[in-house]
Each structure stands twice: as C-alpha cells, then as structure tokens.
Chain A
C-alpha cells in the first residue's frame, strides 16, 4: 500500500502545484504579486504604531512639563524630553519627521495632513499582504497534509488558495470568471476558469484518495511495527530480570528506553524500576512477575499456534495494492465526469431555459445571466441525492439482522438468579424480624444474658 500512497502523494503535489500556479498566473495581470508587499505591510504597521506612541508620550510629557512650569507649555522642554527619552531610547520616529524633533506643533499639524495617507497605504498593503499570507498558509498546510495525511490540512490548503481569489474578487480585481457562462460544453471545458476549477477539485479528490490509501494500509503496517516493538521490549525486560537474578549489574540503555515507550505501562514500570531498585525490592514487584508470565504466555502462544503472529498483526487484512489503484482510478474518473457534467447542466443558462421551459420574458431578462439562477436546479438536485440515499438506507435497514443479546437460557438463568436473590433477602428480613421479637421477649423476662452482660461490662469500663 505504500506504493499506492506514494503515487497519490505525487499526484497531490502535481495538482496543488498546478492549482497554485494557475492562481498566480491568472491574478498576475492585476500586478498584485509585489514581493516586497509583506515587508511594506509590516513597516506600515510599525509606522502607525510609532504615530500612536508619539501622540501618547508627547501628550504625557507636555502635561507633566506644564504642571511643573506653572501652567505654561514650554515647547523646547517637551521636544527635548521627547528627543531624549523616546526617540533615542526606542527610535520611535514620528511620521513625517526625518531627524530630531524641533517644533511639536508643527509635527502635530503634519499628522493631521498625513494620517489619511498612512491609513490608505495600510489598507492597500493589507490586501497585498493577505494574498501572500493566504498563499503561505496554503503551502504550509499542503506540506503538512503530505506528512500527516490529515484531511483538515488538505481542506485548509485548498481553502487558503481559493481565498486569494475571493479576496481579489472583493477588491474588484480581474479574477478568473466565466461571465457570460458558455452555452457550449466544449467551450466551457476549454475556459481557463473552468480548468482552474477542475484542477482545484482534482487536488481535493486526489488528496482524499491519498488519505484513504494511507488509512487503509497504515493500520496493518502499524500493528506489525507495534507488535515487534512490544515483543522486543518484553524480551529485553525478561533478559534484564534474569541478569539481575544472576547478580549482574544492569544498566539502562537508550535502546531499552525507546522500545519500552511503546510497551504497556506495567512493562515500562518494571524496566524502569528494575534499573534503580534492589533485587529484594524487585522480587516484590508484581509487575516483574507479570512481565515474565506474559513472556511465557506469548512464547507459548507463538509456538502452539502458527497463525498467532499473523492474527496479532492482522496481516491478512492488508488490502491488495492493485485493487486499490484500479478502484481509485475508476472512482476518480466516474466522479470527475459526473461532477463536471452535472455542474454544466446546473449552471448553463441555455440548459436551464431548455429544461425548465421558462417564459420568453425570463429568457430575455438580465437575471438569467446572473449566477443565482443556478439555484433553480441546484437545490432540488443537490437535495435529491441525500433523499435517495435515505430511502435506500431505510429499506436496507429492514434486512439488518437484529441479534438478541441474550439467549433464552441466559434470560431464564438471569431471572432465576434475581428470584433467588429476592427470596434470600426476604428470608433474611424475616429471620431478623423473628430475632428482634425473641430478643424483646427475653428482655421482658428480665433474664440477663451473659453475652449481653459481657458487652455491657466492657462498655462500662
């Protein structure tokens, strides 16, 4: 199965690269791929921050200075303090001022004029930055998906790349579009926007197939690996124990530590404690005994049952690679063709008007050319599939064999057991009542029982 996963991994890389490069090329006409955009964005953000800090600190300093100078605002003092404390220490250069500050009022006036330009630059840079951010996230998640085989990473990578187009569409840039939607299926297939859509869909499909292939093959491989590690850890643990019993000194090795990590808890505990504990202490350790018994049990099992190892690793469960490749290709082609064909039927205005036999007024209206028109067919068709599935699953449930959890004998036994318990409780309660009655009677006869007396004597003391 590893081969199949690798083939699909390469296909996933190819489709993602195609999707990403198509997005790059189709948006390149907008001149948005400025490689210095992230730097510009960060610089703009810092300049805005310096503006705010200047405003706050100069206000505070002028307030303090005016308080000490008897209500007047000494401009030079404020400027001096700002230059010394803020500008030199943190190099927070206020926007629009090149060197040290000379006149505070002048700077404040310049802010009023420049504030809007700073914010506009920030707004523009934010979008440029977002394209790069989305691309970066998309690539990172794509790489993660190749290693972790995680569907969230695949979905995240796909959405991040598509988000670039959504943001660009929001900014009213030139983005891939199919406006007007072609009436001819072949023309539709040849459109760049359609090619991008198909490649994007292919990326999702191939990546999910890759995860499927990995999930089907990996558990069996993992089982075998885990079993090997567990048996190795077990063997080492018993060897160490033997060595300790012979009086040899045992040291902890990195090998034993790593293999023991995969083993179960008491085995790990046994290994660790054996290294530090004394022999007497170890003899008392149940864990050590458990490890030895497990070793004997496993050895015995593997010797007596030739299938035991294969069953523990579930080797027979590994699916055939050829079948997985074959079914992946056929499944992919069928899904692909049906999705493209259905999408064309749903979206093409010519098909909609033909199928729905719309009045001439709508035929000639502008609304027929709007994307929302596809909802007319889209919603019923999309809901039809789950409905059919629901009907099928309802009917197939009838064939489901509902097995009884308890056999008749078991039920009878359980009933008998409960009845017996109730009877015993009843008898015990009855006996208690009788004893109580007898005791009361004895008490009234004022006969002192020696046991009661003994107890009373003891409590009195």
Chain B
C-alpha cells in the first residue's frame, strides 16, 4: 500500500517526466526517474521484511469487572517474534468511545528489534455501566521513508463488565460516618412484640403464657397476673422491580430514568445488606432479563450488580410476566418496590399488582416522571414549550388516574424526579423497616 507521502513522490515523478518529454529536457526526465525508482526500488525488500504475522500484541488489564467511574490500567505488550527489524511500527489500542483516557496514551510509534518487546500502558476511566470490549488493536508498519505501509488489525478483545456507579453508596457511607448514623443491625429495627431483649410493656396474663415471663413485682402491686413483653427484632424482604423498557432510556445520557432506577436499586441493596435484610432485584421489560433472588450472602451484592450492569433500555414493560416470574421464585412475603415510569397501558400493571397482592406481598411504585428527566422547559422555544407543557399535563393526569386506582388497594405511587429519586428510595426503605412491612 502506498502512503500519502508515496503519492506525493509519484505525482512529482510523473510531473517531471512529462515536463521532460514536453520540453525535451533530459534533466527533468532523469529527476523523474530518480523519484519513481526511489519510490519502488525498496518495495520488494519492505514486503519481505514487513511480515506482520511476526508481531504479537498482548493486552492485560488489572480487573475485568469494575464500577462505573473506576480507573483501569491497560498494559499492552508488543512482541517481535520474527527475525527481522521493523523500522517503524504504530500500534493503536482502541477503547470504548464513552470511556475517558485519564493518564497516558493508547498508542505508540517506534521501531522494534527482532525478539524484543515494547510495553506501554495507559489508564482509562470506565464510564457508563454495561459490557464493553477493549480492542481491537491496529498495527501499522511503514518503511523508513514512509512511502509504503501494511496494516493489520488484531481482533483480540478484552471484555470488561462495568457495574453501575458506586458513588451513591460512597456518599451515603461518608454521610453516615459524619453523622454517626448507626449502620449496624437493629438501628431501625421493627418494633414488634416478641422475643427481643428490649422492654416493650406489660399485658395481662392469659393461660398458656410462659411462667418465666410473669413479672411478679408488678403482679403483686396490681393484684393481677402481668406478663412482661419485649421488642422483637425482625428483618424485611424487599424486591426491586426495575423496568428496563425503552421509555426508561429517555433523558440525558448517564442520567436517564433507567440509570436512576439502577442507582436506586444498588443503594437499596447495599442498605439492605448492611442491615441484614433480604433485597432482591429483577430487571424486566417484555421478558425478565435478570433476577437476583433476595439473599444475604457476601457476594449477593455482586449478583445484583451483574444483573443491573447489563440492563439496556429496550422493548416494552410486561409487568405480568415479570411478576409471575418473581412470585414463582420467591417463597416469602416481600415488599415489591417497582421502579417504572408507568408509560405502558395500566391494565397489565393492575393485573400484575393483583397477582402480587393475591400472593400476600406488599407493593409500592416509585415512578420517575419523564418530563423531569428531559431538557428543562427553559431551554425550549415558545412552540416547544407549549407542546411540552401539554404533554406533561397529559402524562401527569394519566399517572394520577393510575395512582388513584392503585391507592384503593393500598399501593402508593411516588412521583420522582432526578433529584429526589435516591432520597425517595432511602425513605421508602426506612419506612418499610419501621412499619415492619414484609417481615420474615
């Protein structure tokens, strides 16, 4: 392959040759011959030496699973396994478009001796959750004067799974440390009378009560037999139903409704695990894409993160299929927190809720309201402004109707925007703990 530089020399050579022929000038012809011969004379030698199969590229990364926003070092080693020199070699290692090159450079240009290797590295910041590939690597080999080149793309790719961002958890932990919030078990325990250690009150003795629970002093004072009662510490089971339908992908990139729902699910799982509650997660659209059943195992968080990492906004919301799947795989009573934008027709949602309530579960809906996630109305022109307001009103009216229908069966709908999505989930969880909803 001839490079641009090679074409310039060819052009100059042909120009001089034709000028020499036109003006019967041997000097111009001679110079033209020099240029053209100079261009092609080393070509066979270059073809002989530039055997790209002699170049091997090896890529290593520190971790194959990272959180969104984390840094990752990529080490690229180029080996010359042939017995020839490569005068000029360029190596470009490609990385996902959405990522940021934080430190270093992802390419190198140098010469490489036979049997030797070159190692270079660079640091990337993984942005946006999902499954990504680093690579392929493009190797370009040029001759010394840069007239000819050979190119080869090494298709080896390194897969990296990017979990949703961990920054919310970090923030909450930082806040917790500052305010000395109790993150230990029992900080927001359910006040249920039972077998706990803290005193809750007295009640009259009924036949069948254990004698050891009788408070003799109080019984003597009151003249009736009185039983001492204690608070019982119970945990709850929560399942996050994350809607990954196409409409959840609306909004600013990295700040879509789905992204917020995922961040909320991560936060909720983390809080649950800290307090020894069972938190499961289901990602669904027209099918169930992933389900991490409620658990407290140490690696449960990673199961949830993997399910959430691969969520892509597409398809439509089939609430019934999703709930059927989850109910079949869940034995205990749970609190279902739906994170859905309620932009599908209401009947399937109500049917899903019906199934849910019929199986003894509780539910609530945290619903991101579409217009709040999109461009602020202030950025629109007058026509767009009117249209967007009309659409907003229509959507608001619609979701109010759905909320009213759900309220009749004790299912609350909380409308949230980007700013109050995460506080809403924390509040909901804490309230559920205090009320003792879905205890197991």
Contacts and interface: CB of A to CB of B under 8 A. Distances in A.
Interface of A: 151-152, 155, 158-159, 162, 165-166, 169-170, 172, 175-179, 181, 193-194, 196-198, 200-201, 204-205, 208-209, 211-212, 215-216, 219-220, 223, 226-227, 230-231, 234, 264-266, 286, 289-290, 293-294, 297-298, 301, 307-308, 311-312, 314, 316-319, 324, 327-328, 331, 335, 338-340, 342-343, 346-347, 370-372, 374, 378, 381-382, 385-386, 388-390, 392-393, 396, 399-401, 403, 405, 421, 424-425, 428, 431-432, 435, 449, 451-452, 454-455, 457-459, 461
A455 B405 contact: yes
A204 B41 contact: no
A165 B118 contact: no
A342 B41 contact: yes
B241 interface: no
A interface, by DSSP: helix, strand, loop or mixed?
helix
B216 interface: no
A432 B347 CA distance: 13
Given A162-B16, A392-B44, A400-B53, A343 B34 contact: yes
Given A170-B23, A331-B144, A319 B110 contact: yes
A178 B103 contact: no
Nearest to B13: A382
Contacts of A319: 110-111
Given A152-B8, A159-B15, A400-B52, A311 B75 contact: yes
B146 to A, nearest CB: 6
A403 B351 CA distance: 52
Contact of A165 (B27, B401, B408): B27
B303 interface: no
B-side interface size class: 35 or more
Given A297-B123, A298-B123, A314-B119, A169 B8 contact: no
Contact of B41 (A172, A193, A198, A385): A385
A451 B351 contact: yes
Contacts of A294: 71, 102-103, 123, 125
Interface in B27-43: 27-31, 33-38, 40-43
A454 B408 contact: yes
A452 B405 CA distance: 9
A451 B409 contact: yes
Interface string B408-424: 11000000000000000
A177 B26 contact: yes
Nearest to A207: B145
B357 to A, nearest CB: 9
Interface in B152-208: 152, 154-157, 167, 170
Interface string B70-96: 110101000000000101100000000
Given A155-B9, A175-B27, A317-B118, 7 more contacts: A159-B12, A166-B16, A169-B23, A318-B110, A390-B47, A454-B350, A455-B405
